[in-house]
Structure 1
Amino acid sequence: MPHVRFRAIKKEDVQKLSQSLTTELARSMNTPPDNFTFELVQTQFFSGGGETTSYPFIEVLWFARPQEVQNECAGIITRQMKQLGPYEDVVVVFHVLAKEAYYENGRHF
């Protein structure tokens, strides 16, 4: 934990980010690097009756952290995404998980 999901980017880019993002985010979140999970969600986007491309959409599932940490992490993710490609927009969404609702091996945090 945290779990980072990517949409509308290439597999190779997620592989790169799984190293560089982990390093920066772990430092910002004060979380060990081996706690991170990266997932690429294969999606298709549609508009006006046809298939279209989309901007990168990144979801971060994590336990609550201060707003300053969230802002810093959103900036880190956005900066690294924009270094990978000519993305005009990058969307980052944080989903806060309740510790008592997150179970690992049958035990909640």
Structure 2
Amino acid sequence: MPHLKFKGIEKEILIKHSKELIDGLTSIIQCDRTWFTIEHTETEYIFDGAIVPGYTFIDVAWFDRGQEIKDLVADFITTFCKKLTKNNDTTVIFYPLEGNNYYDNGTHF
């Protein structure tokens, strides 16, 4: 944990820079790097009958670490994505998880 889901960014770019991403996030969050998962979803944005460029979206599912850490993580991810894409629009959405609703191998946290 955290689980990061990326849309609107090229998979190869994300793969190439995934170590940099996890290195930066572990220094902010102060957790083991093996807790992270990164998922990439192929996305096409459609508007007025055409495929158009779209935002980069990152969904972050995690156990809440407070507003200060959330702000730092959002800023880091936004800067990271803007550096790697031509897209100036990046949206980070946090989904807080609760231990009693999160089961790992049949046991909740």
TM tier, smaller = over 0.9
Q: Which runs of 5+ in 2 are unaligned?
A: none
Displacement after TM superposition at 1:50 (Å): 2.1
Q: Which amino acid aligns with 1:69?
A: I
Displacement after TM superposition at 1:87 (Å): 2.0
Q: Deviations over 1:32-80 (max 9, x none)?
A: 0111000001122111122212121111110111100000000100111
Residue 30 (structure 1) aligned with residue 3 (structure 2): no
Match for residue 92 of structure 2? Answer: 92
Q: Which runs of 5+ in 1 are unaligned?
A: none
Contact 1:14 1:38 in 2 (8 A): no
Q: Whose strand fraction is larger, Structure 1's or Structure 2's?
A: 2
The two structures have a TM-score, normalised by structure 2, of 0.94
Runs of 4+ in 1 over 6 A off after TM superposition: none
Contact 2:9 2:85 in 1 (8 A): no
* Superposition map of 1:64-103 within 5 A: 64-103=64-103
Q: Which amino acid aligns with 2:4?
A: V
For these two proteins, the number of residue pairs brought into alignment is 109
Displacement after TM superposition at 1:14 (Å): 1.4
The two structures have a TM-score, normalised by structure 1, of 0.94
Quick one: distance in 2 between partners of 1:62 and 1:16? 24
Match for residue 40 of structure 1? Answer: 40
Aligned-residue CA RMSD (Å): 1.1
Percentage of pairs with the same residue: 37
